């Protein structure tokens, strides 16, 4: 007898054969209970076409697990089995969780500092471009990707996708029947991100649509959510983003519907993956204090407000659209690389996180922000450099300094005697604020654009430190060891 095994936080899949008549997506209820000692976890199953049903499970405890299926179809009910959950492989740190109130960490305790980018519709571009996107992501330095389930209809996005999420019905769609090829393809791409160590920030709804997916009936939305969650929740690197720009869909999906979406996702995801939602208009932040929201997503160019959002919501904040590097006509997509690097640093030093995107005009409309492909801008290597700086810093993450003077003008934060002060458009020849009051410390000046770190020596007391006096610099203070 061969014992099946799966690594901790890996994906274990039970495959069953069941009824094909009627509409199995609607007619058949399926789940399974997975047990390890006192732990019992109920995981939802789903129909995978051609009489195949699946239940996916992500074990988070090593050792022996058993399971038993439950279904209103006798062919699927009471199926049992067992497997061994082994130690996680190298590089597998489990799902990302909220940690230290305003920060994140992997479940195994490893720090996770979110450096995300955006390729909304990358899984709808065909294999050649999608594989190029993966190749780019392999070395780009990002560890999260915002991506939509549904294809995108928008400026620069007029191409038809290869797959559609629902089965065709005449000229339209049967919103109660999911297209299996679509989801197999989606899952393949999601899994490939996981293999690269990139969290998949799955956007479940968005307004940019010509197929009708943005205007389904609420019950169809609910069923779709349950189906997607049943399929994807066992991937440890999945995050749920309820929407891109939910506020542009309020006419069809009023606020209470969004609230209910959060409930459905939370109820159907046994692993409690991170959940948030992304606004369009800067005045329309979702009420991220709601209990179903694990962390804050905002779209806002005004990154100096980061501390305000942290305080208002008391959760980790990602400004995942602080405008994109690019040159298109829309002003959310035409800031300079320097400006994006600048905004990113401000978010980080103020104790938050930011998001990257690239929107340069392209002769074939292949813009990274939506379709992926290659990165042509200049911000991404600087953000990779910044990620390195942050990962060398305190594991707990950076907490911003309080107060309006000087920290409303110059971004400063730290953790213990570790300090990171980002001057940006300020170019002091010397600086004394925010230095530790006691102890001996080492000061480095970081050129955020040139990506250099220059050690200024060691210091004691709060005498102002001499600086080069040019823009785009940061000052890093670390206690001298020993």
Which chain residues interact with a copy of itself by CB under 8 A? 281-283, 301-302, 304, 323, 327-332, 334-336, 338-339, 361, 404-406, 408-410, 423, 425-433, 464, 469, 471
Q: Which residues, in sequence order, are CB contacts of 196 under 8 Å at separation 6+?
A: 134, 137, 138
As a whole number of angstroms, the longest Cα–Cα distance in the chain is 79
Closest distance of CB 435 from a copy of itself, Å: 12
Rounded alpha-carbon distances, angstroms, from residue 438 to 435, 443, 460, 478:
9, 14, 7, 12
Toward a copy of itself, which CB reaches closer, 304 or 440? 304
Toward a copy of itself, which CB reaches closer, 113 or 431? 431
Closest distance of CB 406 from a copy of itself, Å: 5
**Rounded distance, CA 133 to CA 459, Å?**
46
Toward a copy of itself, which CB reaches closer, 39 or 327? 327
Toward a copy of itself, which CB reaches closer, 188 or 430? 430
Asked if residues 32 and 109 have their Cβ atoms less than 8 Å apart, the reply is: no
The contacts found for 281-285 with CB under 8 angstroms, 24 or more apart, are: 281/247, 281/248, 284/247, 285/309
Closest distance of CB 430 from a copy of itself, Å: 5
Toward a copy of itself, which CB reaches closer, 158 or 409? 409
Toward a copy of itself, which CB reaches closer, 39 or 281? 281
The DSSP code for 290 is S
Toward a copy of itself, which CB reaches closer, 270 or 436? 436
**For residues 19-40, b (16+ Cβ closer than 10 Å) or e, as one string?**
beeeebbeebebbbbbebeeee
Closest distance of CB 165 from a copy of itself, Å: 30
Closest distance of CB 248 from a copy of itself, Å: 11
Phi and psi angles of residue 69, each rounded to the nearest 5 degrees, phi first: -85, 155
Closest distance of CB 283 from a copy of itself, Å: 7
Closest distance of CB 360 from a copy of itself, Å: 9
**Rounded distance, CA 182 to CA 467, Å?**
55
Phi and psi angles of residue 195, each rounded to the nearest 5 degrees, phi first: -65, -25
């Amino acid at each position: 007898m061969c014992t099946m095994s799966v690594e901790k936080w890996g994906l274990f899949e039970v495959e069953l054969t069941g009824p094909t008549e009627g509409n199995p997506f609607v007619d058949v209820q399926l789940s399974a209970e997975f047990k390890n000692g006192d732990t019992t976890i109920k995981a939802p199953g789903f129909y995978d076409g051609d009489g195949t049903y699946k239940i996916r499970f992500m074990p988070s405890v090593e050792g022996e697990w058993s399971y038993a299926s439950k279904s209103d179809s006798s062919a699927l009910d009471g199926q049992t089995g067992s497997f061994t959950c082994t130690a996680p492989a190298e590089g597998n740190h489990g799902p990302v969780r909220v940690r230290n109130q305003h920060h994140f960490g992997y479940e195994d305790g490893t720090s996770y500092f979110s450096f995300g980018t955006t390729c909304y519709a990358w899984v709808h571009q065909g294999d050649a471009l999608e594989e190029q996107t993966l190749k780019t992501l392999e070395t780009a330095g990002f560890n999260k990707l915002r991506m939509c389930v549904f294809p995108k209809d928008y400026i620069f996005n007029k191409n038809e996708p290869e797959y559609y999420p629902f089965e065709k019905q005449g000229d339209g769609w049967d919103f109660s029947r999911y297209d299996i090829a679509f989801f197999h393809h989606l899952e393949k791409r999601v899994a490939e991100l996981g293999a690269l160590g990139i969290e998949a920030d799955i956007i479940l709804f968005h307004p940019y649509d010509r197929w009708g997916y943005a205007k389904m009936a609420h019950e169809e939305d609910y069923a779709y959510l349950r189906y997607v969650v049943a399929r994807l929740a066992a991937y440890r690197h999945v995050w749920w983003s309820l929407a891109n720009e939910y506020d542009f869909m309020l006419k069809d999906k009023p606020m209470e519907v969004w609230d209910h979406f959060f409930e459905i996702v939370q109820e159907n995801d046994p692993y409690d993956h991170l959940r948030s939602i992304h606004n369009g208009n800067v005045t329309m932040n979702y009420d991220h204090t709601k209990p179903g929201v694990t962390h804050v997503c905002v779209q806002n160019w005004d990154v100096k407000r980061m501390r305000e959002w942290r305080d208002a919501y008391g959760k980790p904040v990602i400004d995942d659209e602080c405008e994109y590097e690019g040159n298109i006509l829309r002003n959310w997509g035409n800031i300079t690389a320097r400006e994006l690097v600048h905004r990113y640093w401000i978010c980080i030093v103020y104790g938050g996180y930011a998001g990257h995107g690239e929107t340069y005009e392209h002769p074939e409309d292949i813009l990274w922000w939506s379709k992926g492909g290659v990165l042509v801008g200049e911000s991404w290597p600087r953000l990779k450099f910044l990620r390195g700086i942050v990962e060398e810093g305190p594991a707990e993450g950076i907490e911003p300094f309080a107060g309006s003077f000087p920290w409303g003008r110059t971004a400063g934060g730290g953790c213990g005697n570790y300090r990171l002060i980002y001057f940006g458009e300020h170019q002091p020849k010397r600086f004394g604020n925010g230095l530790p009051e006691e102890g001996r410390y080492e000061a480095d000046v970081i050129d955020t654009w040139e990506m250099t770190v220059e050690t200024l020596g060691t210091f004691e007391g709060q005498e102002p430190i001499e600086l080069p006096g040019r823009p785009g610099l940061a000052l890093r203070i670390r206690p001298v060891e020993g």
